[in-house]
Amino acid sequence: MTHEYELEEVIKTSLLQTTTKSEARLSENVDELLGGRSKTSAKNPVKPMQAIGEIMQSPRMLKRVAPSISILVTILAVGLCWGLRSTVTWAQVVEAVNQKSWMRMTGETPEGVVITWSSQKHQIFAIQSPQRVSISRFQDDVTESYSPDTKQIFKSAAEKKSSERVGFDSFNALFGMLERGDEVLDLEEFREENSIESIEQSRKEIEIDSIKFFDYRITLQPQEEAASTMTIRINSETRLPNQVTVNNSGQPEVIFQVDFPETGPLDIYSMGVPENTQIVDQTPQGVSPEFKEIVDQMQAAVVGFDDYRGIIVLSDPDHPWHVGTPQIVWRKGNFRRMDFGFIDTNNSQPTVDPAADLDRQQWWQNRCKLLYFRPIQVSESGLVYSNNYTPKDDDFAARNSHPIKLDAKKWSKTQWKKFGKIENWQGRTSPLHSTYPHISGFFTNSTSYDTKVVRDPSDEEKGTLLVTVDFSSSPVGEQQTDRPLTMNQVKYVLDSRKNYAVLRSSTIVYAEQDGESEVQSQNEVVNRDFKQSPKGFWYPTLIINKHEFSMNGQQHTGENVSRVYLDFEIEMPDKLFQQSKSNSLGIPK
């Protein structure tokens, strides 16, 4: 079944269009009306805001406006992928590019100098040209575009199908494939997504000032575009792209120089747009500025939070602190990893009750050395990979009481599968996601979320805020069309003095049928005993999770606690975040 927001998009785009005949009639009549009012119109015409607004709203129009730029990133990605295939090892190229914070391409076009910026680390793609400056911050789901003609910044939700998004995703997908070490790259899907029909390539070795380069000449035929020939010059030593020459049919040759600066544009103002420029906000409306401010603050905390390795001990509420199942989570910039540890019944080590004054974090680090760990999820380059970790004869009961005891021999081999984008990261026990959840999804995916913000609610401490979000969700799956519509209410109590950290959150799902509504399930998360990271961000060291739901007419309840031990000093090599076959990688020494 189509998801609600997909259907909303279908309806939104199902606009009828006026005929040229009626437009001409109106234009003629209006000319008569307005003709005598002013003689300044020719001298000082109002720049139609529609012009850029339309560009922002229509991917098709955007493609027409900047064909060479919009497809350049995509083509370069394809070119890198195909062109280098037989010569250097992919791991070397990927490693070389990934070590760079930014990739910048600078070219002199007939319209002036064009610069594109791309950063996987910051999830940003930006274009700077005399006609247009735009920046897409994909983590925030925001695109800002400035035209010197209108002298306005148009801010909108980042279009899923925009050229910037497609180009940027292409990079991520390609590098993801390469990093995974696939012998055969799944380029069919990639080519279809980017509407590229045919590819030819040749290679030659050249030497400039005693430096060896490989020139890869690639001819591509994008759908509905003229064929493009690109020559990508790769430094044979650094394995980095150095120059890209573009020949579009019937257009002058453009040469882009490629470099990898340490810093790049994080917002539109750092690309020369005046700070006092008027902003036309076209992001989905119906959300209060106050709510947006909270979302921005939480997002800033997620981005700015220190790198860490955390041992998160899941436990039953009546267990002492040293009894539980540890998960180990790593966060390094945009990279994530989560491992799951349990007692191997073939090699179990008895737990000795620790002394009362023991360093609990140190105790758990030592304890982890005796447990069997499985990596569950890793993420780099914006993509999440998941490892199938369920044993063949899964014992549900054994898996849901702590500490978990399982037979390691029965587990399948490590097998990574693409799970999805970073937004779908399931490391829910990790304090970052519990404390600063991705609540911007409440207004970027659909217009049918209602949010309310109450400052200093009467039954909470001063300085707290209560955010309430109401939304409906429909049954999912073709077999479930007769299930009732559900109404959801999510509440967050945030602390404005702690980077807007979530102190408590609850989710209640009401099932509605025949005008009656009843609670179908509810969940409450309480974050307690906050500490500050070295950079000053707050995080809880105790997370209490309570849930209640009805199934087959029976009510089920449950409660668990997670104790959080974060280490901010540990070194984390990048290979930790790749799809390694080893289970023991990263376990505390």
Partner 1 sequence: MAEIDQSLIDAIASGEKSAFDAVYRSHKDHLLTVTVVTLGIDSIAAEDVLHDVFIRLAECSSTLRLKVSLRSFLISCCLNRGRDLLRREKIRQRAVQSRSETIEHVSPDEAVEQAEANARIIDLLCKLPAEQREVVTLHLHGGLTFAEVAESCQIPLDTAKSRYRYALSKLQKWWSNSTIPTGDQHDT
Q: Any contact of residue 479 with partner 1 (CB under 8 A)?
A: no
> Closest approach of Cβ 13 to partner 1, in Å?
8
- Say how far residue 459 (Cα) sits from the centre of its chain: 35
At 516 the three-state DSSP class reads strand
**Phi-psi domain of 304 (left: phi exceeds 0; alpha: psi -120 through 50; beta: other):** alpha
Chain-centroid distance, C-alpha 493? 25
Torsion angle defined by CA atoms of residues 545, 550, 551 and 553, in that order, rounded to the nearest 10 degrees: 160
Stretch that binds partner 1, among 22-30, 234-242, 299-307, 358-366 (CB under 8 A): 22-30
Answer for which of 257, 474, 489, 506 binds partner 1 (CB under 8 A) is 474
Judged by beta carbon, residue 67 or residue 437, the one nearer partner 1 is: 67
Nearest Cα neighbor of 91 from 99, 167, 335 is 99
Burial class (CB in 10 A: 0-12, 13-18, 19+), 296: middle
Q: Count Cβ atoms below 10 Å from residue 568 Cβ, excluding itself.
A: 13
- The least CB distance from residue 141 to partner 1, in Å, is 18
Q: Which stretch, 48-56, 130-138, 232-240, 361-369, contacts partner 1 (CB under 8 A)?
A: 48-56
Closer to partner 1 by CB, 229 or 447: give it: 447
| Least separation in angstroms between CB 7 and partner 1 | 6
Amino acid at 31: D
Hunting for tokens 């295939």 — which residue is that?
Answer: 85
Q: Which is nearer to partner 1, 157 or 544 (CB)?
A: 157
Least spacing, CB of residue 195 vs partner 1, in Å: 12
Q: Is 60 in the site for partner 1 (CB under 8 A)?
A: yes
- Cα 205 from Cα 161, distance rounded (Å): 37
At its nearest, how many Å lie between partner 1 and the CB of residue 175? Answer: 32
Rounded distance between C-alpha atoms, residue 574 and residue 103, angstroms: 19
Residue 511 near partner 1 by CB under 8 A = no
> Does the protein bind partner 1 through residue 48 (CB under 8 A)?
yes
Q: Which of residues 266-325 bind partner 1 (CB under 8 A)?
A: 280-281, 285-286
Binding mask 440-459 for partner 1 (x = CB under 8 A): -------xx-x---------
Phi (first) and psi of residue 313, to 5 degrees: -100, 115
Taking a C-beta distance cutoff of 8 angstroms, is the pair 27, 19 a contact?
no
CB of 421 to partner 1, least distance (A): 24
Stretch in the footprint of partner 1 (CB under 8 A) among 7-15, 188-196, 239-247, 338-346: 7-15
Binding flag, residue 113, partner 1 (CB under 8 A): no
Binding of partner 1 by 198 (CB under 8 A): no
From 249, 246, 266, 248, select the one nearest 257 (Cα to Cα). 246
Q: Could you tell me which residues come within 8 angstroms of residue 129 by beta carbon, excluding any fewer than 6 positions away? A: 66, 69, 109, 111, 112, 113, 114, 115
Which residues sit at the interface with partner 1, rule CB under 8 A? 1-2, 4, 7-8, 10-20, 22-23, 25-27, 29-31, 33-41, 45-51, 53-54, 60, 224, 280-281, 285-286, 447-448, 450, 472, 474, 478, 481, 485
